[in-house]
Amino acid sequence: MCKCKCATINTIHQTQSVEMLSTQPFLISSRPRLGIFPENHAFWRRSLRKLGMAPPILSLALPSETGRVLSIQSHTVQGYVGNKSAVFPLQLLGYDVDPINSVQFSNHTGKLLTFLLKNLRTMRLDIWCAVICYIGSVSFLNTVLKVVEKLRSVNPKVTYVCDPVMGDEGKLYVPPELVSVYREKVVPVASMLTPNQFEAEQLTGLRIVSEADGREACKILHAAGPPKVVITSINIDGNLLLIGSHQKEKGQSSEQFKILIPKIPAYFTGTGDLVTALLLGWSNKYPDNLDKAAELAVSTLQALLQRTVNDYLSTGFDPQTSSLEIRLIQSQDDIRNPQVKFKAEKYN
CA gap 151, 8 in Å, rounded: 11
DSSP string, 201-222: HHHH-----SHHHHHHHHHHHH
Q: Give yes or no for a contact between 240 and 234, defined as CB atoms under 8 angstroms apart.
A: yes
Residues 6+ apart with CB under 8 A from 259: 241, 242, 244, 294, 295, 298, 342, 343, 344, 345
CA angle centred on 299, ends 5 and 225, rounded to 5° = 35
Q: Which amino acid is at 7?
A: A
Q: Which of 62, 83, 203, 67 is nearest to 132 (CA)?
A: 83
- Integer-rounded Cα Rg, in Å, for the chain is 21
The residues annotated with a catalytic role in the active site are 273
CA gap 33, 250 in Å, rounded: 48
Sign of the CA dihedral running 131, 15, 85, 233: negative
Tell me how crowded residue 190 is: count the other CB atoms within 10 A of its CB.
26
The helix-helix angle for 290-314 and 271-285 (nearest 10°) equals 140
Distances (CA, A) of 51 to 38, 123, 172: 17, 21, 57
Residues 6+ apart with CB under 8 A from 343: 259, 295
Q: Give yes or no for a contact between 164 and 182, defined as CB atoms under 8 angstroms apart.
A: yes
Residues 6+ apart with CB under 8 A from 204: 217, 220, 221
